């Protein structure tokens, strides 16, 4: 075992920051690792708030985000920039999380620089290269380049084994639950309350929180989702639908053209502490976000997944989530069932989370330390 290992965490988006933050905090407590953090800032919005909330010190901020950047344009810039960081830091291990363009770049640069790759949240699969796009391709390539595979669930482990990836595969749970537990405790201890900030929202009603941003939803699918929400707002006078507006221009235009803003509250994307707070105060969540699918069960919130396929099947299997796709009819039917059937709601809101127990970061730290 070496006296000390250099470990570089590479972060591009807010979800990556959320899921890597508790891991970085854990590694910082162990002097065996010299920890450095690099941001590509693939998504600048709200990323800094997460870094500040979790009190993470950033060593390199590449600040690569530009307006309306293409994925390939970002990837080409990020490869060149990250290569310089790797040459400077000389990491023994480079850590990436999930399936973004930053993850692909990190694993590629590490491979070419002969640095070991640790992939957090490895093994998720939809088996459809078009959904999610390009994330399914990103994680397939990253798995083929990684040296350590930290899988969140047994299903993810099985997916890797099916691809003949069996060495250094570890079932550790999902670090998003570590992050959520940290966040909820901090919100309670520091007495965060955002009611005054959201005066336009009627919290005396049952809140339905909606988040929709994936490419598969662009166009008619998003139109149908909006029409379903409009119908539900008319059908139930005791609900308040709150829809997060994603900054992607195609999402913005689709929502503005199809949503009834007199009945549905449209709000800007929430930073992480506000999002956790809003989820806690919601009755039901509709989303195509992977992270929210994982977090909501720990808060006892039923989830209707606005996707045709999901790589997070465990929530569906245990009954805390339901895959409803983007059909107007099905969304209305399943939401109505939860709003009118107390028994069904009680079953789906059980505090059962198949994604983790809040100890994932400690497990990963222990495994990587033992294997050096």
Active site residues: 99, 121, 135, 213, 215, 246
Structural contact between residues 268 and 280, judged by C-beta atoms closer than 8 angstroms: no
Query: Angle 71-108-79 (CA atoms, 0-180°, nearest 5)?
Result: 55
Distance CA 177, CA 183 (A): 10
Token pair, residue 113, equals: 């620089």
Distance of alpha carbon 339 from alpha carbon 239, whole angstroms = 9
Name the pairing type of β-strands 148-151 and 5-11: unpaired
255 by Cβ neighbours in 10 Å (0-12 / 13-18 / 19+) ranks as buried
**Token output for 238:** 């005791």
Can you give the C-alpha Rg of the chain in angstroms? 20
Nearest-angstrom CA–CA distance, 120 and 105: 15
Q: Where are the beta strands (DSSP E) in the chain?
A: 5-11, 33-39, 60-61, 93-97, 116-120, 148-151, 169-171, 206-211, 239-244, 265-267, 284-287, 303-305, 321-323
User: What letter would DSSP give residue 242?
Assistant: E
State how far the Cα of 354 lies from the Cα of 341, in Å rounded to an integer.
Answer: 24
d(C-alpha 262, C-alpha 289), whole Å? 25
Closest C-alpha among 121, 131, 126 to residue 15: 121
- Rounded to an integer, what is the distance from CA 142 to the centroid of its chain? 17
Q: What share of the chain is helix, strand, coil (3-state, %, to 5)?
A: 45, 15, 35
Residues ≥6 apart with Cβ < 8 Å to 62: 38, 39, 40, 41, 78, 81, 82, 85
β-partners of residue 231 are: none
């Amino acid at each position: 075992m070496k006296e000390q290992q250099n470990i570089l965490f590479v972060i591009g988006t807010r979800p990556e920051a959320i899921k890597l933050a508790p891991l970085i905090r854990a590694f910082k407590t162990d002097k065996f690792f010299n920890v450095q953090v690099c941001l590509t800032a693939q998504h600048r919005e709200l990323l800094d708030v997460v870094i500040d909330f979790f009190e993470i010190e950033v060593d390199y901020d590449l600040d690569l985000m530009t307006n309306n950047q293409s994925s390939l344009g970002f990837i080409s810039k990020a490869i060149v920039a990250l290569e310089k960081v790797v040459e400077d830091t000389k990491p023994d291990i480079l850590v990436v999380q999930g399936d973004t363009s930053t993850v692909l770049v990190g694993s590629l640069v590490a491979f070419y620089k002969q640095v070991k790759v640790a992939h957090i949240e490895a093994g998720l699969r939809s088996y459809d290269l078009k959904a999610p796009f390009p994330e399914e391709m990103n994680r397939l390539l990253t798995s083929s380049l990684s040296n350590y595979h930290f899988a969140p669930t047994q299903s993810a482990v099985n997916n890797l084994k099916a691809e003949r990836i069996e060495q250094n595969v570890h079932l550790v749970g999902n670090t998003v639950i570590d992050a959520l537990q940290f966040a909820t405790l901090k919100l309670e201890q520091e007495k965060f309350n955002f009611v005054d900030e959201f005066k336009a929202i009627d919290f005396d009603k049952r809140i339905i929180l909606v988040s929709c941003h994936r490419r598969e939803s662009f166009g008619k699918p998003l139109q149908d989702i909006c029409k379903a929400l409009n119908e539900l707002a008319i059908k139930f006078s005791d609900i308040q639908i709150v829809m997060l507006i994603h900054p992607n221009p195609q999402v913005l235009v689709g929502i503005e053209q199809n949503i009834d803003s007199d009945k549905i509250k449209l709000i800007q994307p929430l930073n992480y502490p506000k999002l956790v707070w809003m989820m806690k105060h919601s009755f039901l969540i509709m989303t195509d976000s992977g992270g929210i699918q994982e977090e909501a069960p720990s808060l006892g919130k039923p989830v209707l997944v606005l996707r045709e396929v999901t790589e997070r099947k465990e929530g569906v299997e245990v009954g805390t989530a339901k895959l409803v796709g983007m059909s107007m009819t099905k969304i209305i039917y399943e939401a109505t069932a939860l709003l009118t059937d107390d028994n069904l709601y009680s079953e789906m809101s059980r505090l059962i989370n198949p994604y983790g127990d809040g100890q994932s970061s400690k497990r990963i730290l222990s495994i990587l330390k033992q294997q050096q």
